[in-house]
Structure 1
């Protein structure tokens, strides 16, 4: 039996520790033709609830449809959503190809949404005619959104708020055209200067104001020119701990809907410890 002093001590010193915020789960990019059974086992073990699954143009002729159907069957069984992943910088000035890809991918009826990774800043035109390139990119998003009723999600860099567009910034203009964004907040710390939260907070705030869900993201591939942009050197446990810390730090932002990890190929082979 606890004495009165012990009871007071428990009450004052703390009692049970505050519960850690529940994780909203993870998402991940899947760019390669990995074995469906292996992918889904990995996803289940790492609380992955959505897989951005690369779909080749003209999927019917690619020979990859049977694998994708197998992936879908296994994902459905374990409550994991699949999104059709695609994107080329050239789509900015070739909307017809982008629309053809989306129609082909979503026409399989395997995917809950489109997830596009189109990086207009990779084009030479970004340097020679940034306003024209920005306008063309926004027209691309308009076209993809208009072509299908299913949600459209876009990968975006964290610095789009520095680029003028229309009456505000490119970040704001993208948020008016998509149903969700994933921010490439590629850093290897959770909080503090130059961290995932530091670079991702601007889009979290803008997404909250616009009523658009915002996912943050972490990188696991080797990036020799930017080691602080990836967990390649830190390993699996540091990644897991850091993403848990981001879940806690980002929970105060209404727009926050979780963290995506780039990408299955490098994440699944990331070493266990430094």
Structure 2
């Protein structure tokens, strides 16, 4: 999804600006272990056929799918989501509604309206927000006020429906100060779990950039997923596993599980996204 890759680039730029550098060769590689991998999750932004999606999820050990739900889904989209729900339920796979736009950070009412429509469908086990305020044009200029509104959005969305709430966050989120705390701590206090966009091109590097939030989450016993990118990223070659073979990718995903295993907060790995991942041979 083009918007998502813009977010990857923005995260890379922001990380550099805050002194967070991509992991280099000096980092010791994480040994690949043969023990069963943690349960996988994956993003599904497209309207791919439910049968193919669930077949792929089963093959890859995916136990949760974040399925995009549009602002106001029509009959065809609802029918597809109903089929996806039926197939995921039969396969023992959780289904979460995926949505978000940078503008929701400053217009929480839009996020609330979306969530209310999602909850009314009664199809989902959870709600997964992908709201990235640092993509807003005025982020650098109005960071404090945007951060405050961003947190208000979580407060309001949490009250708007019964499903557990999870959020995508960049690995450098703790570098943004909010009063005496930081934005990572404030977001984690408002959600049930986070998925860290720890996009790098090796298992050791993914773990390396993800450890800050894994460690911070332990105080609140907040579940954390790390994430791997499989979409091509021409402007950020170290942010993605694109171009690897499926076997090589699986080795790196297993390495991430091994490297993060020491954190009680680690709940597994999410892969972005179905369309790019399923095309890797």
Q: Which of 178, 195, 205 is equivalent to 2:215? A: 205
- Structure 2, unmatched stretches of 5+, are 1-32
- The residue correspondences of 1:214-225 to structure 2 (distance < 5 A) are 214-225=224-235
* 1:117 Cα deviation after fit: 0.2
Cα distance in 2, alignment partners of residues 238 and 141 from structure 1: 38
Query: Do structure 1's residue 117 and structure 2's residue 130 form an aligned pair?
Result: yes
Higher relative contact order (CA 8 A, sep 6+): 2
Unaligned runs of 5+ in 1: 1-18
The CA distance in 1 between the partners of 2:75 and 2:99, in whole Å, is: 14
Moved over 4 A (4+): none
Contact 2:124–2:163 at 8 Å: present in 1 too?
A: no
- Tell me how far apart the structure 2 counterparts of residues 29 and 62 of structure 1 sit (CA, whole Å): 22
Give TM-score scaled by structure 1 length.
Answer: 0.88
Which residue in the other structure is 1:106 paired with?
119
For the residue of structure 1 that corresponds to 2:134, the secondary structure is: helix
Partner of 1:159: 172
Aligned residues: 249
- Once residues 203 and 62 of structure 1 are traced to their aligned partners in structure 2, the CA distance between those partners, rounded to angstroms, is 39
Write out per-residue CA displacement over residues 163-204 of structure 1, whole angstroms, 9 at most, x where no aligned residue. 10132111111111100000000011112xxx0011000000
* Pairwise CA distance, 1:21: 3.8
Select which of 171, 185, 202 maps to 1:172.
Answer: 185
Bigger radius of gyration among the two: 1
Deviation at 1:23, TM superposition (A): 1.9
Query: What is the distance in 2 between the residues matched to 1:72 and 1:123?
Result: 33
Counterpart Cα distance in 2 of 1:236 and 1:227: 18
Give 1:93 deviation, angstroms. Answer: 1.5
Please name the residue that 2:266 is paired with. 256
Give yes or no for contact 1:21–1:251 (8 Å, CA) kept in 2: no
What CA RMSD, in Å, does the superposition of the two structures yield over aligned residues?
1.1
